[in-house]
Amino acid sequence: MPPNASTSPHALPGAFVISLDFELHWGVRDHQAANGPYQAHLLGARMAVEHLLDLFTEYEVAASWATVGFLFASSKRALEAASPSVRPAYENARLDPYTEPVGESEAGDPLHFAPSLIERICRTPRQEIGTHTFSHYYCGEPGATPDSFEADLHAAQRIAQAEGLALRSIVFPRNQSGADYVRRLPAAGIDVYRGNPPGRLWQVEVGAEGRRLGRRVGRMLDTYLPVDGDDTVGWESVLESGGLANVKASRFLRPYDPRLAALEPLRLRRITRSLAHAARRGRIYHLWWHPHNFGVHLDENLAVLRQILAAFAEARDRYGMVSLSMEGVADRARAGVEEGSRASTRSGSEA
């Protein structure tokens, strides 16, 4: 059976996947100062992590935490020691994270260090630690190269291995990737990645600014109405040639906005309907966001998430839907192919 083959669509159950881009200030440092107005979101993210883990435990839900490698460091000295010798030479100097002023440790700088939160995630059942690259690496920016990207991933693995972790999954920062970068993943021990959603609004953005603006508007509308069609993913699309698994995203869970409170029922319905569709059809529904998206309006955001998790629990009871991490999806898809191959062999021998 070819590497990208799959079992029949109904051979595997519907799966609910959650991935979180865990980055704190490293993800927004090029446009948000650490001591600026966005600081409340970043500090609130630390509290959000605790509440998210409590909810995931309550509903027995798995999640993949794509974590920036810098956050593993216990100190400024440890961060510097773990940094790779080959680094990106971005043409836009503002993107260089190695110039970012940082404190001496998590106690004094909770926006750039988070070993205590990572330890808390590891202690929570069914949670996977993946990578968001070591330095929040931008594959789509001028000055990025596959060689410096691979060096960055090896640094991410080293700092995680010091904590007894082996990283298998990756979320590309700002969803910037490309074939030359994806090909480097296996060499760094990564066998699962989160691809962009399947709809036309998430295709690579090229061309005039007006076209990019149109897609952003379209994505916002699609938050409330089915503008971009089916956002669930078939199991047959997971495995790719070369041994990689692409667990495509379905939807970004936009944070609560009091200015759009009247539209909240539409936002929730858009998500829960897709989730139920995936459960009924044996497809994958992959929701993602950043912890700092919950950093303000925490209670409102958690209330929405609770309703989503309750909808999943109903789908689990009614249709047998399962909650899987990204690596869990990859493992289940590979096991399905192996079982399908064995079944085909048995069928042939009995003919």
What count of Cα atoms within 13 Å lies in the side-chain half-sphere of residue 251? Answer: 31
Identify the helix (H) or strand (E) that includes residue 169.
strand 169-170
Q: Are 174 and 140 in contact (CB under 8 A)?
A: yes
Mean pLDDT of all residues in the chain? 90
242 pLDDT tier (thresholds 50, 70, 90): confident
- The CA dihedral of 75, 78, 79, 84, to the nearest 10 degrees, is 180
| Residue 247 · residue 239 · CB < 8 Å | no
Determine the average pLDDT of the residues in 29-53: 97
Say which residue the tokens 């199991």 belong to.
235
CB atoms within 10 A of CB 169: 27
pLDDT tens digit string along 163-214? 999 999 999 999 999 999 999 999 999 999 999 987 665 665 433 444 566 6
- In 14-99 the beta strands, taken as DSSP E runs, fall at 15-22, 63-67
Mean of pLDDT values over 133-140: 98
Which runs of E-coded beta strand occur in 199-297? 245-246, 251-252, 284-289
Look at residue 215 in the predicted model and tell me its pLDDT.
Answer: 63
Find all residues with CB under 8 Å of 246, minimum gap 6, and list them: 192, 193, 194, 195, 237, 238, 239, 240
DSSP-assigned letter for residue 35? T
| Average pLDDT estimate for 61-66 | 98
Compute and round to an integer the Cα radius of gyration of the chain: 20
> Which pLDDT does position 164 carry in this prediction?
97
- Closest to 121 (Cα-Cα) out of 192, 252, 255, 19: 19
pLDDT tens by residue, 305-316:
999 999 999 999
Question: With contact defined as beta carbons under 8 Å apart, do 5 and 337 qualify?
Answer: yes
Question: Between the CA of residue 150 and those of 141, 145, 172, 324, what are the distances in Å?
Answer: 15, 9, 13, 27
| pLDDT value of position 339 | 66
User: Which pTM was predicted?
Assistant: 0.91
Please classify residue 21 by burial: count the beta carbons closer than 10 Å to its beta carbon, then call 0-12 exposed, 13-18 middle and 19+ buried: buried
- Whose CA is closest to 169, among 260, 79, 3, 286? 286
